[in-house]
Structure 1
Amino acid sequence: MNKSELIDAMAASAGITKAAAKLALESFLESVEGTLQKGGRVSLVGFGSWSVSKRAAREGRNPQTGKTIKIAAKNVVKFKAGAELEGSVNKK
């Protein structure tokens, strides 16, 4: 499912216009992004949580040449699925 398909599904499920669904989705994404940029955590009980983790600088290898390269430190976004989401995906 891509973004436009998600907007269509949200609009149909909630009985709202596609424009309203698009605005709601974009507002949600901006809020999550803003919180993560500040180093915060977003948690939706039953669905999952997003957090930011720091990845240290390290050395790696260029697979084509085999030379050692330096990989810079960076922040990465992590998502951990909630129990209800995992349960619904693993139903038989």
Structure 2
Amino acid sequence: MNTLRYRKRSAVEATLLTIVMMCVREWEEVLPDDCEVLVTVSQRGRCRITVKLSIRYGAPVLAVCRELQQQIAEEIAAMTPYVAEAIDVTVKRLVMP
């Protein structure tokens, strides 16, 4: 029998997750309902963000991912005292329009 143990998300993690999803929702090329976000926070004021998402077929994938990374980093820096040391964006699939 497998046992899964979930811990409650901290206020910092919830805030960072909200910021990431605000950024994702601004992109019409990205399907926000098929997005997974993992937030890892360190004690030294740093965080790591992993975003797995689906992009509409025909969108400039590399450009969207790079600009989304930059936007997330800038928003985290502007809205929190945290610095994003890594933002990994993975495209799970391309979706036909």
The structure with the greater share of residues assigned to helix is: 1
Shared fold by TM > 0.5?
Answer: no
Structure having greater relative contact order (Cα 8 Å, sep ≥ 6):
2
TM range (shorter): under 0.3
TM-score, L = length of structure 2: 0.23
TM-score, L = length of structure 1: 0.24
